[in-house]
Structure 1
Amino acid sequence: MRKGNTRSRDSEFEQKVVEISRVTRVVAGGKRMRFRALVVIGDKKGRVGMSLKKGADVSEAVKKASGDAKKELISVPMVRGTIPHQIKAKYKASVVMLKPAPPGTGVIAGGPIRPVVEVAGISNIVCKMMGSASKINNVKATLKALAGLRQPKAGRGERKSDNKIVEKK
């Protein structure tokens, strides 16, 4: 099975498989094995979603997860290819810190955070994963952080001298 980028021709979304694991359930006749897929999808323009689904085989689990992830999309505000401000988010035992980075930095992120920010379309960001190493919880913490971002105000970054002052005569 090929992991990584898969973009179908009819879909505007890019999907990345973060994790595939074998899960078993004990039944009367023994153990029944299924596959669980954690999939992240995004359009590289600021929309991203994730889903965790099970299936009888890997392809079925991935297909179910990608279909469900399209229903769970969030919008991410971006400024010149990065995020507008630093943010820290916690989901269960996972803590994620995202920091904006200047152009040319690239995506500095490890593990399960990298596919989330890549499919969201963020090109310059610094990320830090603290606490739990659980892929599921770290992806959810990253999405929680991205959902908590706010768009900067319109007048931000202007100097007082830039404002035109009209004198009364």
Structure 2
Amino acid sequence: MSNPSANPSSNSPAGHNRGPGGRGPGGRGPGGNRRDGRRGGRDNAPTQDEGPELFEKVVFINRCAKVVKGGRRFSFSALVVVGDGKGQVGVSLGKANEVPEAIRKGNEGARKRMTKVQIKNDTIPHEAFGVSDGGKVLIRPATPGTGLIAGGGVRAVLEAAGVHNVLTKSLGSNNHQAVVNATFDALKQLRNRETIKALRAPVATSEA
């Protein structure tokens, strides 16, 4: 004959209501310490986009040292490229005493200086040659499937503008800022057929 005191929970009313987790039906069972699904859904809810998604690229970060009485004082400059991938691109140089602040300033400046450039079917409408200081960059249109044949600052600017098939050649200085500005200058020279017709129309009318 079994001793009733050996298993006190078998005779107590509360023992019949305990589940596998040691709590009643209203308590926590297995995995009861997890958050409510409704709360998790609220935390993971997608946020609304505040604006169009922009391509941001830090091309180069330069460190400058100033010698003072107590030692050396460092400052930083960040060359940033920003674009929407649909024909708008901007370039700026941000300067500050800390790297994150320099990048932030460069990002804001590039967003303010965004310029619309002409793109035709993921490539450029014609050949262009850009010059800035010692930087010289040649860009040529390419057939679909060629890809973005560029590197360094040239590639960053073209990716931000949304060009996917192009041939490039850097012929001048290797300075990052000069190359980026030369590429930006070449993109600003691009014109599509409609723009060229509009520019030539008044000349043809006056001669007639």
Would the TM-score normalized by the shorter structure come out above 0.5?
yes
Higher strand share: 1
Q: Tell me if 1:62 matches 2:103.
A: yes
Which of these residues, 74, 82, 100, is aligned with residue 123 of structure 2?
82
Q: Contact conserved, 2:52 with 2:84, CA < 8 A, in 1?
A: no
Worse-superposed segment, 145-154 or 76-85: 145-154
Q: Contact conserved, 2:123 with 2:164, CA < 8 A, in 1?
A: yes
Q: Tell me if 1:71 matches 2:140.
A: no
Q: Tell me if 1:153 matches 2:153.
A: no
Name 1:36's counterpart in structure 2: 77
Q: TM-score, normalised by structure 2?
A: 0.67
- If you compute each CA radius of gyration, which structure gives the higher value, 1 or 2? 2
**Aligned equivalents of 1:34 and 1:22: distance in 2?**
6
Structure 2: tracts of 5 or more residues without a match: 1-48, 198-208
Number of aligned residue pairs:
149
Q: TM-score, normalised by structure 1?
A: 0.82
Which amino acid in 2 is paired with 1:116? V
CA deviations over 1:44-84 (Å, ceiling 9, x no partner): 00000011111222111111100111111111111111000
Deviation at 1:26, TM superposition (A): 2.9
**Aligned equivalents of 2:94 and 2:60: distance in 1?**
11
**Aligned equivalents of 1:99 and 1:142: distance in 2?**
12
Q: SS of the residue aligned with 2:152? A: coil
Aligned residues: CA RMSD: 2.0
Q: How does 1:14-29 map to 2 (within 5 A)?
A: 14-29=55-70
Name 1:115's counterpart in structure 2: 156
Higher helix share: 2
**Aligned equivalents of 1:84 and 1:145: distance in 2?**
12
CA deviations over 1:106-164 (Å, ceiling 9, x no partner): 1000221001000110011111001110010000000001011111238x9xxxxxxxx
Structure 1: tracts of 5 or more residues without a match: 1-7, 157-169
**Aligned equivalents of 1:25 and 1:11: distance in 2?**
40
